[in-house]
Amino acid sequence: MAAKIPVTVVTGFLGSGKTTLVRHLLQNNQGRRIAVIVNEFGEVGIDGELLRSCQICDEEDDANNNILELANGCLCCTVQEEFLPTIQELLKRRDKIDNILIETSGLALPKPLVQAFRWPEIRTGATVDGVVTVVDCDALAAGTLVSDINALEAQRQADPTLEHETPIEELFEDQLACADMVLLTKVDLVDSPTQTKVNNWLQQQLPSSVKVVPCHEGDISPDLLLGFNAGVEDNLDSRPSHHDHEEDHDHDDDINSVNIILDQAFDPQVIKTKLRQLVQQQEIYRIKGFVNVANKPMRMVIQGVGDRIESFFDRPWQADEKRQTLLVLIGRGLEQLRIQEVFG
């Protein structure tokens, strides 16, 4: 039997930079055949499409598991509650996969996910090679742990694995406690003494074997991100969690997503202004999407956490691709018609 496929789990708070990290890894896979699993919230696969856009990919979906084959030999999967079937499908392709990387959703804790690799259906074919926790240096320096506290609270209410009344400090401690490495992102937003202070504080919270590595725009060598050989699922007792003995909780049904598809082109500043207006009017926690910019051959990616909205151009529009603006807004009690009116 072939060796177990090594699995790397990337965890971290909403907006810490996990998707940017994964996207960079796919662009610089150094010949590795990597399967990336993105656990999304929302009906439209913004994260999955963003990851696929880093390479030209064969637009052939697996009808049952939403597995897409990338031209660089990688796979991209998007799952919500179908984790086990997706893993089983990937294990059928084990001769074509060198690594699996799982980007957890917003506030998902790593330990319950790692425990799933003890299941008989999985443990013979895959092992958790390592857990990487992504930390926002700018937010930690400001004492908030996360760039938008409202978005974090909404994600926590929607996550059935979490104790909803637990202080976010405990959730952060759980993510650190499970880590084999901590990536410190957004270091360019603080000065050198502040970065050093944050780094030293983090190192005090971690075992000496767990290192804190600065990371700018997801730029880190695959040799650092992959290959811990930790067998994490067999060593969970050494990674204590505040949630080790808790049962599942009901999720918050008020959290929903709204998908907006618009045929008109936009000026980047105009659409950002409209989105900030919406954030003020409704309880919106996360914005993701692609924008058709007038007289621009490139597609613009737009992402927002709270009222902080960022954008970049990722690739040219394809000849057979309809130029549309596609947005996904995640929040509490969002109303499709009210949101649509802002763009009408």
Measure Cα distances from 141 to 132, 151, 173, 276 in Å.
20, 19, 16, 25
In a domain, 129, yes or no: yes
- In this structure, is residue 237 part of a structural domain? no
Helix residue spans in 70-148 (DSSP H): 83-91, 110-115, 120-123, 137-141
Selection from 134, 144, 76, 78 nearest residue 107 by Cα:
134
How far apart, in whole angstroms, are the C-alpha atoms of residue 275 and residue 295? 21
Q: Are residues 226 and 264 in the same domain?
A: no
pLDDT tens profile 30-88: 889 988 887 654 444 555 666 566 543 444 444 344 565 655 666 666 555 567 778 88
Domain boundary among 163, 198, 232: 232
| pLDDT, tens digit (0-9, with 9 covering 90-100), for 210-268 | 999 999 888 888 888 898 888 899 888 778 776 665 544 444 456 777 888 899 899 99
For residues 74 and 216, membership in a common domain is answered with: yes
Residues 51 and 183 in one domain: yes
pLDDT of residue 94: 87
State whether 176 and 272 are in the same domain.
Answer: no
Q: Is residue 242 part of a domain?
A: no
Please tell me whether residues 177 and 312 are part of one structural domain.
no
Whether 146 is covered by a domain: the verdict is yes
Domain containing 268 equals 253-341
Q: What is the per-residue pLDDT across 137-184, written as a single tens digit (0 to 9) for each?
A: 998 888 877 665 566 566 556 555 445 455 677 778 888 999 999 999
Residue 32 included in any domain: yes
pLDDT digits (tens, 9 = 90+) for 272-316: 999 998 988 888 877 888 999 999 999 998 888 766 788 889 889
Assess contact for 214 and 199: CB atoms under 8 A: yes
Sign, Cα dihedral of 28, 33, 41, 43? positive
Residues 161 and 227 in one domain: yes
What CATH number does residue 329 fall under? 3.30.1220.10
Residues in contact with 85: Cβ distance below 8 Å, sequence separation at least 6, in sequence order: 64, 65
Q: Are 171 and 107 in contact (CB under 8 A)?
A: yes
Q: Is residue 224 part of a domain?
A: yes
- How many Å from the N-terminal Cα to the C-terminal Cα in the chain? 58
The verdict on 60 and 141 lying in the same domain is: yes
310 in the same domain as 205: no
Asked if residue 70 is part of any domain, the answer here is yes
Please list, residue by residue across 34-52, b when 16 or more beta carbons sit within 10 angstroms of its beta carbon and e when fewer do. Answer: bbbbbbbbbebbbbbbbbb
Query: Is 310 a member of any domain?
Result: yes
**Between the CA of residue 294 and those of 87, 291, 298, what are the distances in Å?**
41, 9, 10
How many domains are contained in the chain?
2
- 75 and 194: one domain? yes
